[in-house]
């Protein structure tokens, strides 16, 4: 008879269920040479997800630090309606350590939140764009100029990157105040204060970057989120 196996007394013994593969094995991918890749690919995907999560966390952390540093000691600038602050030091530090894209998100969002919380809402749209551009410029230039250099050469690369980024900040706020806020020539009143803010930010960023970059563990962490 078909459909089963019979014992000595003629009773029908049911066939065991036929399973081609178990679920985990059925998902096993084979490489061209026939070697299993499934576990390795899973580990790679898991590591990528962990790095993405870490990147989001670090962007949020730096955004909070930029916001706090910007709000810490706001100094009103006569004639411009804006204020000087210490936020640029954290923005440049973030750009030097994290790279251009993540730093742009953190800096733009953090600085814009500070404007909104301090009551400078009119500056918030410009701040979002300008501070993101500052971080993007500093991060891209420092990554290109610094390379694997250490010591004085690395410091020089960061200095050049910071100067270029802060010059963009001064020009950006001048144009924003003169053209979009209707200040006209009066926007020149904020140029000196913004330049001073940029210079102080460069000094703060160079000191913080040298301090944090001296830790091998911190450098490894930042390499994972770049």
Q: Which residue has the higher pLDDT, 13 or 204?
A: 204
Query: pLDDT grade, residue 13 (50/70/90)?
Result: low
Q: Where are the alpha helices (DSSP H) in 73-151?
A: 87-98, 100-118, 124-146
**Which pLDDT value is given to residue 9?**
53
Question: How many other C-beta atoms lie within 10 A of the C-beta of residue 36?
Answer: 12
Model confidence at 150: pLDDT above 90: no
Per-residue pLDDT of 99-133, as tens digits, reads 999 999 999 999 999 999 999 999 999 999 999 99
Q: Which residue has the higher pLDDT, 132 or 80?
A: 132
Residues 6 or more apart whose CB falls under 8 angstroms from that of 181 comprise 81, 122, 187
Delimit the domains of the chain by residue range: 35-225
35-225 classified as CATH 1.10.1740.10? no
Q: What is the CA 217 to chain-centroid distance, rounded?
A: 18
Q: Which residue has the higher pLDDT, 36 or 208?
A: 208
**Which pLDDT value is given to residue 23?**
47
Written as six digits, the tokens of 31 are 């490489």
**Which pLDDT value is given to residue 31?**
46
């Amino acid at each position: 008879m078909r459909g089963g196996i019979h014992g000595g007394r003629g009773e029908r013994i049911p066939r065991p269920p036929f399973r081609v593969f178990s679920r985990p094995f059925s998902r096993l991918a084979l490489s061209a040479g026939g070697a299993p890749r499934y576990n390795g690919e899973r580990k790679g995907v898991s590591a990528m997800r962990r790095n993405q999560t870490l990147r989001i966390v670090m962007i949020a952390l730096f955004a909070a630090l930029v916001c706090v540093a910007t709000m810490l000691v706001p100094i009103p600038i006569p004639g411009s309606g804006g204020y000087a602050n210490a936020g640029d030091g954290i923005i440049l530090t973030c750009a030097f350590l994290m790279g251009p894209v993540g730093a742009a998100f953190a800096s733009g969002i953090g600085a814009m939140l500070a404007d909104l919380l301090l009551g400078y809402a009119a500056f918030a749209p410009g701040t979002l764009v300008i501070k993101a551009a500052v971080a993007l410029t500093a991060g891209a230039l420092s990554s290109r100029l610094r390379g694997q250099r250490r010591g004085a050469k690395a410091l020089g690369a960061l200095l050049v990157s910071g100067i270029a980024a802060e010059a963009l900040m001064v020009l950006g706020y001048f144009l924003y105040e003169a053209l979009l806020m209707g200040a006209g020539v009066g926007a020149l009143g904020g140029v000196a204060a913004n330049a001073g803010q940029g210079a102080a930010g460069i000094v703060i960023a160079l000191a913080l970057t040298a301090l944090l970059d001296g830790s091998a563990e911190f450098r490894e962490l930042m390499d994972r989120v770049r």
